[in-house]
């Protein structure tokens, strides 16, 4: 499956949201051009899919199941502090994106891979787990909690949040992986609605005790995503 990689920095969430939506709708339109769905499946057209890595400005995003009670700081205070707020169509509750974080958007036609949302999310988690091994960190999945975790039952730390949306089996949204993220911004929310005292958030830099080269980390993670999903990167 062909994919184009995009790296975006210092763009408002609205700009990236609009671009992601444009790519998502374009891929769906190509699928709609087939008069019969059976013809599409038989042809297995090599449409261009997209992988976006973004370093956002400070923003809180509210998923479809988000609860206002999980917002600790008032919207007025956040706006005055230049933190954007957006309600979006991914699954999940409230999360934070910002500088020092790799926010990945996967705009894939899953029908060319598999019609299995659970497998898709687990595969994203596997990409993150493999990436963290490069830094000698043993990460894992946690039953009943989407995302990637570190630690032990008494001190569980979430390093990557995942939330996706699908339409006509074309995916959008993806993950937020904390690299050099300022974790104090998570104090404005109850991240992902998880209130258990033994579950917190962390970053790669906090775990290894040094700042990470974000450009290198992006390259490393991109290569893992391409390999795990079996993608062929097309460069323009």
For the chain, give the number of residues: 236
Radius of gyration over alpha carbons of the chain, in Å? 18
Residues contacting 13, CB < 8 A, separation 6+: 56, 57, 59, 61, 84, 86, 97
71 touches 93 (CB < 8 A): no
The active-site residue out of 54, 127, 160, 192 is 192
Task: Name the residue among 133, 146, 47 with its Cα closest to residue 90.
Answer: 146
User: Where do we find the tokens 């709609």?
Assistant: 32
How far apart (Å, rounded) are the C-alpha atoms in residues 164 and 60? 16
Report the alpha-carbon distance of residue 157 to residue 153 in Å, rounded.
Answer: 10
Sign (positive or negative) of CA dihedral 173, 21, 93, 207: positive
Q: Is-catalytic flag, 192?
A: yes
Q: Which secondary structure element, helix H or strand E, spans residue 165, and what is its range?
A: strand 155-167
- Catalytic site positions: 192
């Amino acid at each position: 499956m062909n994919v184009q990689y995009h790296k975006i920095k210092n763009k408002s969430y609205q700009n990236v949201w609009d671009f992601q939506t444009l790519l998502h709708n374009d891929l769906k339109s190509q699928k709609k051009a087939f008069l019969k769905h059976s013809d599409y499946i038989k042809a297995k057209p090599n449409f261009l899919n997209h992988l976006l890595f973004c370093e956002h400005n400070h923003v809180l995003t509210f998923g479809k199941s988000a609860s206002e009670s999980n917002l600790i700081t008032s919207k007025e205070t956040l706006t005055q502090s230049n933190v954007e707020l957006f309600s979006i169509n991914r699954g999940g509750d409230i999360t934070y994106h910002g500088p020092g974080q790799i926010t990945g958007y996967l705009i894939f036609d899953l029908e060319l891979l598999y019609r299995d949302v659970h497998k898709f999310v687990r595969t994203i988690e596997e990409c993150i787990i493999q990436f963290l091994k490069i830094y000698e960190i043993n990460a894992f999945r946690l039953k009943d909690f989407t995302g990637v975790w570190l630690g032990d039952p008494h001190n569980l730390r979430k390093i990557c949040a995942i939330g996706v949306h699908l339409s006509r089996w074309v995916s959008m949204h993806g993950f937020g992986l904390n690299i050099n993220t300022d974790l104090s911004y998570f104090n404005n929310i109850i991240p992902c609605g998880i209130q258990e005292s033994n579950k917190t958030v962390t970053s790669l830099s906090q775990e290894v005790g040094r700042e990470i080269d974000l450009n290198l980390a992006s390259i490393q993670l991109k290569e893992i995503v391409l390999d795990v999903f079996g993608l062929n990167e097309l460069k323009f």
